[in-house]
Amino acid sequence: MAIREDVLVVGGGIAGATAALAAAETGAQVRLLSHKKSTLRQASGLIDVLGAVGDNGTEVEPSGLVADPFEAVERLPNSHPYRVVGAAGIRDGLRVFDEAVGDAYAGTHTDRNALVLTHGGTVKPTARYPESVAPGLASAAEKTLLVGFAGLTDFDAPVAASHLDAAGVPFEVDGATVPFPVEFRDDALTTRLAKALDTDESGARRGLTDAVADHLDGHERVGFPAMLGDDDRREVRAELEDRLGAAVFEIPTGPPSLLGLRLEDLLFDALDEAGVRLSSGNPAVGYEAADGRIESVLVDRRGREVPYAADEFVLATGGLVGKGIDSDRESVSEPVFDCHVPHPEDRYDWSEPAAFGAHEFARFGVVPDGDLRPTDGSGDADFENLRAAGGVLGGADTAREKSAAGVSIATGAYAGRRAGESVTGREAEEATR
């Protein structure tokens, strides 16, 4: 039997997951199609909505940190995806996200950005953060101890502490490196350490607190790289707090990121609960269309192209990292629907000499109309029933603006809702005829 849904979302990252959840809220039958695991597994697990905007909106300077992202949206250029969905769209994206993750995340009490400590020893403005990160916010003036492990080179606690101190954080901060109480290979991943704490392997929890106790000198809170358990993380953290007599928090790490993995699990549990059908492991490679509408997406299943039909489609395949946008030496393209991706002819104009400069390539992506539908070179929607969300959209330099997950959930919620409403609205009309 042919596969057919009301809404087909292509891409299983945070944008696709949010789109599918928002579409399901409208009562539509939704399928999420994903090729590989999303970039969430590498991501910090933080939901940055907007952390930096330059005064004229186009030049984003890292020094121009934003306290209230909703107020700062007005200063973004008109080509930015946030200008399509507006502050109301960002709020709706956050609502969908908050309902999906429940009390696993904090930050819902305010519109203002929180300042979270990073593993490099900086502070970062973000809108939502895992509850295990919350006790470590830079705004709390509490004497802080950062703890790293000898074999975990990604996080050097004494260096991170001295960077924070030099940056003038409003609290005393020290760093200590201790041996992890269970012996692993030198390059053991945070996921392996978390498992050892989950199962309390060889008395890992007591061993860890004994090692840290030697460095506790009136410190009111203790920060570890995010590895404090996985399935039993609340129990692990509560036990460490009890033994140390201090608040314990996690600091987001680089890949593989336990906080990113946990977020991916939370989102897929929510999709399951919402009744979204999942198909993973095979890429969308093309489409069939008639009269300006997509009829089906073609999925490569072991060399055979299988059509996945739907009434409405959401493209959420990510940017250059997720392979939603492809580039070779000559050009930049969107590989599934061949949507227009504007870019300078000369490849030397794609980037700036400075590594952290305002690179042109950072804004590469499809150009949406006022309803998030990808447009052709002359500004007309490519297809009536295709919307785009997340990293595949152009116009935002999400790394410099600190807005990546925010853009994904805001545009995902908007695209998913509009897609769902188009179908359920039409069905309601038909029912009343």
Ligand X SMILES: Cc1cc2nc3c(=O)[nH]c(=O)nc-3n(C[C@H](O)[C@H](O)[C@H](O)COP(=O)(O)OP(=O)(O)OC[C@H]3O[C@@H](n4cnc5c(N)ncnc54)[C@H](O)[C@@H]3O)c2cc1C
- Residues 335-374 touching ligand X, rule: CB under 6 A, are 336
**Two tokens, residue 430:** 């038909």
Closest C-alpha among 413, 407, 410 to residue 51: 407
Q: Which stretch binds ligand X (CB under 6 A): 6-14, 187-195, 301-309, 350-358?
A: 6-14
Instruction: Please identify, using beta-carbon distances, which residue of 355 and 431 lies nearer to ligand X.
Output: 355
User: Which 3 state secondary structure label does DSSP give 47?
Assistant: strand
Backbone φ, ψ for residue 368 (5° rounding): -85, 155
Q: Which stretch binds ligand X (CB under 6 A): 77-85, 89-97, 237-245, 312-320?
A: 312-320
In the complex, minimum distance from the CB of residue 403 to ligand X, in angstroms, rounded to a whole number:
7
Select from 197, 316, 332, 410 the one that contacts ligand X (CB under 6 A): 316
Select from 81, 130, 390, 420 the one that contacts ligand X (CB under 6 A): 390
The Cα 405–Cα 69 span in angstroms is 13
Instruction: Please identify, using beta-carbon distances, which residue of 12 and 374 lies nearer to ligand X.
Output: 12
The Cα 55–Cα 18 span in angstroms is 31
In the complex, minimum distance from the CB of residue 85 to ligand X, in angstroms, rounded to a whole number:
14
Amino acid at 371: D
Instruction: Please identify, using beta-carbon distances, which residue of 181 and 395 lies nearer to ligand X.
Output: 395
Q: How many residues touch ligand X (CB under 6 A)?
A: 36
Site string for ligand X, 267-306 (x = CB under 6 A): ----------------xx----------------------
User: Which 3 state secondary structure label does DSSP give 176?
Assistant: strand
The Cα 411–Cα 18 span in angstroms is 9
Instruction: Please identify, using beta-carbon distances, which residue of 130 and 229 lies nearer to ligand X.
Output: 130
The Cα 145–Cα 119 span in angstroms is 13
In the complex, minimum distance from the CB of residue 126 to ligand X, in angstroms, rounded to a whole number:
7
Backbone φ, ψ for residue 102 (5° rounding): 60, -140
In the complex, minimum distance from the CB of residue 296 to ligand X, in angstroms, rounded to a whole number:
14
Instruction: Please identify, using beta-carbon distances, which residue of 198 and 334 lies nearer to ligand X.
Output: 334
Amino acid at 140: A
| 401 touching ligand X, by CB under 6 A | no
In the complex, minimum distance from the CB of residue 128 to ligand X, in angstroms, rounded to a whole number:
9
- Residues 12-71 touching ligand X, rule: CB under 6 A, are 12-16, 33-36, 38-40, 42-44, 46-48
Phi-psi region of 302 (alpha: psi -120 to 50; beta: other; left: phi over 0): left
Beta-carbon contacts of 83 under 8 Å, excluding residues fewer than 6 positions away, are 73, 76, 77
Distances from the Cα of 336 to the Cα of 110, 287, 325, 381, 396, angstroms: 39, 7, 9, 16, 21
In the complex, minimum distance from the CB of residue 104 to ligand X, in angstroms, rounded to a whole number:
16
The Cα 279–Cα 276 span in angstroms is 10
Binding-site ranges for ligand X (CB under 6 A): 10-16, 33-36, 38-40, 42-44, 46-48, 255, 283-284, 316-318, 321-324, 336, 390-391, 404-405, 408
